[in-house]
Structure 1
Amino acid sequence: MRAARLRRGLAMALTACSIVVTVAAAARSTVPGTPVPPRLPAMRAETLPARYAANHRFITESEHAARALGDEGRAGVLARLARGDRHFLSFSPRGDGQVVEVLGDLAHADRIAVVVPGSDTTVDTFDELGTVYASLNGGARSLHAEMRKLQPDRKTAVVAWYGYPAPRTMSRDIVTTDRALDGGRRLAGLVGDLRRVNAAAPVAVLCHSYGSVVCATALRRMDAPAESSLSDVVLFGSPGTGVRSRAELRTRVPVWAGRGATDWIEGVPHVSLDLLGAQIGFGTDPVAAPFGARLFPAGAGSHSDYLRPGGLPLRNIALIALGRGSEVSDD
């Protein structure tokens, strides 16, 4: 059985490596007429309004540039992002883009949750990825609403963090840790920034699909002050983390894992191979006993259902983010 799984993992890796993808190259190009990114102030509680305002102007300028270039699809996306009631810590329109949105009052929140997405997240799918709640923004809004419903007397903030170049499903990157190495560095930096903005608020990091590989990488390179801000790490719909067990994450922060009963990710081979210098596959299944995570019930849903409004996994993830992990249940 083990040999068969290794063969399946190798076959998956070789197949993925044979796919020719041009999207990544396009994402690195600069479109003529793209406005110059603003110089943002360092993240502090007192600088948040200035960052929000600068990014709002940049998004609006980028929308106008997209329209001038005849890219009405991207212009429509940017017009929605440019609404006056939305707040962004960072933004880039280049290629697949970068979007980090804040829901709630980050500087004065009692609890902060960071949602880290998986594959196929781009600036164009930020608000909708098949369904609204399957997108990063839609899922983050569902989570924020659930947290406020479960504990209306507590101030909460949610960061929808598309701050790394997420892989495309049909690319070799989806089976390697390459994107997670850069993403983990950036995520560790964000947690440090959140501590400087609001040192009193515990931060829960919630990691979907390939995002769990990013989170695991961040944990292994996070400095002690940043890690001290973390309350919990939650892995859901995870293909693995790139390590064999929770112990290899070298953290004292509680690590949770859950998977819906009909999530296709269960069928991904849980192997890790070194192929031509690249790590292929992500190792131990996080919901398997040898990994050592705390398990939470994730219901009968599929890969995109974890943050669906009214769902069991959303409630349990929100409870963990609120510091009420002892209350997770299958009811």
Structure 2
Amino acid sequence: MSAAASPQVPAPAPAALAGSATPQERYAANLANLAESARMAEEAGRSGRAAKLREMASAGAEGARFLDFDGRGPGRAVEVFGDLGTADRIAVLVPGSDTTLDTYRRFRDGALSLHRRLAEEHPRSAVVAWLGYDTPGTVSTTVLTADRADLAAAELGPFLSRLQGLAGADARISLLCHSYGSVVCARTATGPRVTDIALFGSPGTGSASAAELPAGGARIWAGRGSEDWIGGVPHVRFGGVGFGTDPVDPAFGARVFAAGTAGHSDYLKPGTTSLDSLARIVMGPAEPAASPAPVAPVPASPVTGSEVSHV
């Protein structure tokens, strides 16, 4: 079921929290809200949604940690993996189409996979799974325009500002943006602590070049797996429909990273080249990377190679 078509589901209003609330206070309030949302969904005959919410609440050895949660309709959730207070590397994942509370597990699995990969080399890391907008349906006219992305960017920008206040003073933040999520990130004004923005499985951004993005000096990366069907989508823009220049095209000006044979939903799967590349983007380097890599594949490290689909 697409995000756009998801029926309304009864749930309480989001927890009312003061701007000064600590992450721990937010986690507790949102976990209570999630439990009440599951109860109301069950009473309304939405046992499938109720089961998914209970799974969300119980996942993780230390319990789920949600900075934000809204169980109404398709739903929204912002979940944290790791300790924001001690992390000096924070990745914010922004999902693409058809991501709702009913399909949340696949999004969470990717966030968990990334967090585990980061922890192998950099224990002081955290991942934020940001389902903070109503995603379009994959099979819909909405997914062909930037309307949902514009609304999402108006939410993501302020969230990043709040996140900087919750994180440690030395924390660097990376935005990892999948599919339609790359359209969202391309419209989001980021603060100075967002050092890197990675676009993967992207249909385009609506901008002709990386230099046009309101990225505040962040490095812009792009990658596509050789098995990603989106490589066959025409990168055109006409009358507000479509998203124009392909981010892995040298003309766009992004730093192209290796994504191996990833399919459209495979970028964060354990053991993949794409996961290694994204993890290394989050971890560093501290200094700006070299100029954009050429399109031709070269035997290099995950973040300096340039495996690009030519579907």
* TM-score, normalization by structure 1: 0.82
Write the distance in 1 (CA, Å) between the matches of 2:221 and 2:9: 40
Tell me which of 20, 24, 27 is aligned to 2:4.
24
Per-residue CA deviation, residues 207-246 of structure 1 (Å, 9 max, x unaligned), is 000000000010xxx2xxx520111000000000111111
For 1:125, what is the secondary structure of its paired residue?
helix
**What SS is found at the alignment partner of 2:154?**
helix
CA–CA distance in structure 2, aligned partners of residues 48 and 145 of structure 1? 21
The residue that corresponds to 1:239 in the other structure is 203
Deviation at 1:316, TM superposition (A): 0.7
Structure 2 distance, partners of 1:23, 1:234, is: 24
CA displacement, residues 19-66 of structure 1 (integer Å, 9 cap, x when unaligned): xx9963755x463xx334320222x5x611111000000000111111
Matching residue of 2:193: 229
The CA RMSD measured in Å over matched residues stands at 2.0
Do residues 38 (structure 1) and 15 (structure 2) align? yes
Q: Which amino acid aligns with 1:93?
A: G
Q: Which residue of 2 aligns with 1:266?
A: 231
Candidates 62, 77, 80, aligned match of 2:37: 62
Q: Kindly indicate whether the alpha-carbon contact (under 8 Å) linking 2:145 and 2:242 is maintained by their aligned counterparts in 1.
A: yes
In structure 2, the gaps of 5 or more residues are 291-300
What secondary structure does 2:101 align onto? coil
Bigger relative contact order, structure 1 or 2, given CA contacts below 8 A and separation 6+?
1
Deviation readout 1:195-214 (Å, 9 max, x if unpaired)? 11124201000000000000
Q: 1:71 to 1:260 in 2, by over 3 A?
A: same
Per-residue Cα deviation, 1:77-113 (whole angstroms, up to 9, x for no partner): 0101112611001111111100110000012211100
3-state secondary structure, aligned to 1:240: coil
Q: Is contact 1:231–1:323 with CA below 8 Å preserved after alignment?
A: no
Separation in 2, partners of 1:57, 1:322: 33
Residue 185 of structure 1 deviates from its aligned partner by 1.2
1:113 is aligned, of 91, 113, 116, to: 91
Gaps of 5+ in 1: 1-20, 128-134
Cα distance in 2 for partners of 1:200, 1:61 equals 37
2:49 is equivalent to residue 74 of structure 1: yes
Instruction: Provide the aligned length of Structure 1 versus Structure 2.
Output: 287
1:172 pairs, out of 132, 141, 145, with 141
- TM-score, normalised via structure 2 length: 0.87
Structure-1 separation of matches of 2:9 and 2:266:
35
Contact map agreement 2:66 2:77 (CA 8 A) in 1:
yes
Identical positions, percent: 46
| 208 and 26 in structure 1: CA distance in 2 versus 1, 3 angstrom threshold | closer
